[in-house]
Structure 1
Amino acid sequence: MNKLIKYICTISILIFIQSCDDKYLERLPLDSPSSETFFANETELEMAVTGVYNRLWYKTQGAVWFLSFDFASDDGWDRNGSALQALGRGEQNADNGYTNGFWSEFYRAINRVNYITSGSEELREKMDPEKYDRLVGEARFLRAYFYAYLAELYGDVPLVISTLTLDESQTPRTAKSEVIDYVLSELNEVKNYLPLNVTEKGRVTKGTVLALISRVALWNERWEESASAAKELMDSGTYQIDPDYSGMFTFAGDNSPEVIMRIQFLRGVQTHNTPRDFLSRMALGHSNKKLPQDFVDTFDCIDGLPIDKSPLYDPQNPFENRDPRMDYNIVVPGSRLVNWTFETHKDSTQTWEFLGDEMIRVPNVEAQHAYASFTGYLFRKHVDVADYPTNVGASDQNLTIFRLGEVMLNYAEAKVEMNELDETVYQVLNDIRGRESVQMPIIASGKTQDELRNIVRKERRTELGIEGFRYFDIRRWRIAENVIPGPVRGRVNRYGAGGWLNTPPTIDPMGTPNYDNISNADEMVVIETRAFNPARDYLWPIPRIELETNTALTQNPGY
């Protein structure tokens, strides 16, 4: 009886409540924000913008996204049998997990920004309007940033700048030129809402916006816009060339005068495994990501001449008298890596271990381990030995995505392409080459446009190595079809062989080596043979799943 009375009472109460207020049961969640009320205050806007920044943590094929591109270029290789390795071989298709991932991740980030710009406008009247414009400006910058990459990778892409209903979801591709117009227009507007610099590291600033304008305009041959943005940033005096090249890519880089923006990591929140990918087996790494002989040989000698022309180059001591940036970028045989001398020739069964001031001979894992460096080289850039041994697989070192050196090279290239070969072009090149830790010979004035074009392109490969630019450079210069196909080579590494090439390769004006005329070139390790189809591979395939769910999309040629 008591149960029946309780049941009747409960039903009666519910009927009474519903008759009084039909919306009573339409309650908003009490334990999380609701889309109905979100952006009620400044804190919620800050949370939403932080959510967009978090998309910069995207990792793919074991690498932080912006670093991963160069492992499919002529500067790098991914040892894993992965979708990234397939891209390097020119075997990608519409189901490739690596190329598909960028589409979904970047549009997810864009959707977060669209949610902010579509739903937060009323908040501007409830908080400091300048702070509102700054926060939304940061989000709009990131939307433009992701769209710039989508357009470079896929060409024409849907340009969606507001939240869509289900009925609006069938969205066709927008011409790449229109997407770039939008990106540059957005950037030129939001730069007015942002300070030149901030104390809170990792946030977008006006300097970051100018750096991206210079990059995007350069990628799309809008030379005047690129040079103008780069000059505005350089003239601001906010950033200076760092005398310590290698320090920019360690924990110390947070305080570098050259760094404009870094992706922020924090142990316990988000980390990355770059040290694990790059370090040797003896240093607890996996040597997953590595470089070919091509990248090593592009570095000049300290007299400013390529290795096939410099009298300072000795084929039997190939790493002596070289541009210091070679050692800052690359772990070469005979150099120290953490506590060991890095040796990779198969006959080097022992190596040196450093124990304080003492050195002892120990077995050399790198010489014979099946998963050690196949090419005989490793990347040094982006790795700080402070992560060894505890945090090799979980580093919270921040990673640089914008710095003054790139902006200066953007300026130089844009000026050269406009055939404005004034002293400012030589100045920026020589400022980069003349930094205290590098001190390469100056580039003398009086060069032709073609000569300076090749100098700038070679300098980009040397200065910006493994920072995520080479993959895009060889495509926008339309030389990928020349530098990608063929064998990916490592050092001479056969038992009983001397270990080095008998003579230097021929180096073309852009720094690309050719090994055809070397008598013992057949002794070089070949880790992969790549192909590149110029009628197809300058663009990525639109993901198959996107074509099936959005029938307004069309596929790129050849896929």
Structure 2
Amino acid sequence: MKKIIWLFILIVFAFGCNETDFLNETPVSYINSMNFYNTSDEFEQAINSAYTSLQPLHGGRGVGANESGWAFGELRSDNTTFQYNESNRAAMAFEQLDEFTMDSGNGIIASAWDNSYIGISKCNTVLSYIENTEVENKERYIAEAKFLRAYYYFHLVRHFGDVPLITDVIKGYNQAFELNKRVSATLIYELIITDLEEAKGNLPASYDAPDAGRATAGAAKTLLAKVLMWNGRYSDAAKELKEVYTSGQYSLLDDYSSLFDINNENNEEIVFSVQYITGPHNLYHTLMYRFLPHDSGTEYLPLGQIEQTGFNIPTADLIDSFEEGDDRLSTIDFSWVTDKDPVYQNSIVPFTKKYMDNGHTIRTQTGNNVKIFRYPHVLLMLAECYLREGGGDPLPLVNAVRLRAKLQPLSSVSLDDIIHERRVEFHCELDRWDVLVRTGKAVEVMTAHGNQQRERKFVGENSYKKIKLLFPIPDKALDLDPTMEQNPEYK
């Protein structure tokens, strides 16, 4: 079996039919839980449901979806932009995010906030009810829930800063409002690190095919290392990454483009990915449509293009950053020539081929997995830790990634070399913005990018005027609690 089929339909009653978060009118814990959470199978269904919140974060379903993974990670950066669609202005939320003109009413940030807390509430429910039970796989279920809770909180804290900290099942309206208070990001990071430290020892190295996509020990250690690097703890991060590096569990594929073949998913390079599948389970996404030029019609999509597309388009600056002969450039297509807001060389709208599912048979239903961590993440993160703190040689780690891309090895390596390598290795995935912010380069890089983008006639005069490192707290959270403070950049 290609990937996990999350048993969403079977367990939705146990988590709230609306997939609402802890602030909404019907707390999850009001569902009759006495008849559930008693067997290993029921807890497995509950954990499966906790995974499903990853999907709307990274690849939404249907027209108007507000997925934040690629939008926060790539569109916000200098890697990708959008093709202006004069005839359809319904997706302005993405344009505003790209140009740093978004405000607290932006639907993408509201979706990111909601879906993260939905996932957190599901994890908290599992952890609460499993504590006093004795079921098969109990330790693994706890570890999966803690991995996922850490992932959702990391998505929140690095994008919003201080956020509410919820670790229990909400049992009433008063408790919900009492807990709807922003706490220090330091406390959020403490929970994330504790959860991952506890999870990594109780997760398996791998799973059989039917369970491919679940969190592994390697995924927990890689996520923990990323969190530690965000907190400047590079030596501690190196220890986690070295364990993944020496585990023998992962390796580089020979052919870069084969990584993105939908028939080659969950291969030996994948450390963790969000699983999707077409069909009646509502577990697909529309990313192939989203990332193709809006005016491409049936050229690449026999079933026809949809509205609100032409996003995550590679910028000229990204394209020009590839060295001559870099095999990774082959995953960007340059065949669409148009007079409708070309992005490259005055006539081309390039697009990424990393999310192509050419065999899908139902319009808008594509099933490519979204890759969160690949083995090159481990190599390049470990290289950076060695470069900053010592303990190992970063050069062979960087050169392993370069050699797979058919490039000559470097004779020495700098931080800028590693940042560049990450840019071209993970382009159009969801990596660039995080790297720019963590390394302190976001303002400089994005100011220069803004100057270039202003040459495009559709970029507004207020675009890129202030490069903001955090996103605004959504209006809905502020409306529910007027005492909650907005991030200073948005007041």
TM-score by length of 2: 0.81
Aligned position for 2:348? 376
Q: What does the per-residue CA deviation read over 1:243-295, in whole Å, with 9 as the maximum and x for residues that have no partner?
A: 12111122133242111222222222111112212335121346611122111
Residues 208-287 of structure 1: pairs in structure 2 closer than 5 A: 208-267=219-278, 268-269=280-281, 270-280=283-293, 281=296, 282-284=299-301, 285=305
Which of residues 62, 68, 71 in structure 2 aligns to 1:68? 71
Could you tell me the percent identity over the aligned residues? 25
Structure possessing the higher relative contact order (Cα contacts under 8 Å, 6 or more residues apart): 2
Structure 1 runs not aligned, ≥5 long: 1-32, 302-321, 333-341, 345-366, 490-513, 516-521
Gaps of 5+ in 2: 1-30, 84-88
Separation of aligned partners in 2, 1:375 and 1:103: 38
Structure 1 contact 488–527 (Cα < 8 Å) conserved = no
Question: Following the alignment from structure 1 to structure 2, what is the Cα–Cα distance between the partners of residues 94 and 324?
Answer: 40
Pair 379,466 (structure 1): closer, same or farther in 2 beyond 3 Å: same
Deviation, structure 1 residue 392:
6.0
Deviations 1:117-163 (A, max 9, x none): 1122222x2x22xx111012111110000101111001111111111
Q: What does residue 150 of structure 1 align with?
A: 156
- DSSP-derived class of the 1:296 partner: helix
Determine the structure 1 residue equivalent to 2:6: none
Report if aligned partners of 2:257, 2:330 keep a CA contact under 8 Å in 1: no
What is the total number of aligned residue pairs between the two structures?
429
Partner in structure 2 of residue 556 of structure 1: 487
Root mean square deviation of aligned Cα? 2.6
The answer to whether the 8 Å contact 1:215/1:407 transfers is no
Q: Give SS of 1:401's match.
A: strand
Separation in 2, partners of 1:47, 1:226? 32
One-letter identity of the residue aligned with 1:242 = L
Mapping of residues 269-348 of structure 1, within 5 Å: 269=281, 270-280=283-293, 281=296, 282-284=299-301, 285=305, 288-289=310-311, 290-301=313-324, 322-328=325-331, 330-332=332-334, 342-344=335-337
Match of 1:528, SS state, is coil
SS in 2 for 1:114: helix
The aligned runs of 1:507-522 (5 Å cut-off) are none
State the SS of the aligned residue for 1:283. coil
Contact 1:488 1:526 in 2 (8 A): no
Choose the corresponding residue for 2:429, options 450, 467, 479: 467
The equivalent of 2:396 in structure 1 is 427
Quote the residue 1:55 is aligned against: 53
For residues 450-481 of structure 1, the C-alpha deviation after alignment (integer angstroms, 9 at most, x for no partner) is xx111111111111111111121222223222
Q: Distance in 1 between matches of 2:416 and 2:341?
A: 39
Aligned partner of residue 236 in structure 1, secondary structure: coil
Alpha carbons of structure 1 residues 384 and 542: separation in structure 2 relative to 1, 3 Å: closer
Cα 1:548–1:63 change in 2 (3 A) is closer
Q: 1:385 to 1:102 in 2, by over 3 A?
A: closer
Partner of residue 114, structure 2? 104
Q: Structure 2: how far apart are the matches of 1:544 and 1:375?
A: 39
Contact 2:290-2:310 at 8 Å conserved across structures: yes
Q: Does 1:185 align with 2:194?
A: yes
Determine helix, strand or coil for the equivalent of 2:489: coil
Deviation at 1:416, TM superposition (A): 1.7
CA distance, structure 2, for counterparts of residue 402 and residue 159 of structure 1:
26
Cα distance in 2 for residues equivalent to 1:477 and 1:265: 32
Please give the secondary structure, in 1, of the residue aligned with 2:228: helix
SS in structure 1 at match of 2:488: coil
Is the 1:72–1:85 contact (alpha carbons within 8 Å) kept by the matching residues of 2?
no
Alpha carbons 1:64, 1:272 under 8 Å: kept = no
**Which residue type is aligned with residue 77 of structure 1?**
T
Say if 2:174 is the partner of 1:167: yes
Cα-to-partner distance string for 1:358-398 (whole Å, 9 max, x where unaligned):
xxxxxxxxx3467999872323342335336x356211122
Deviation at 1:55, TM superposition (A): 0.6
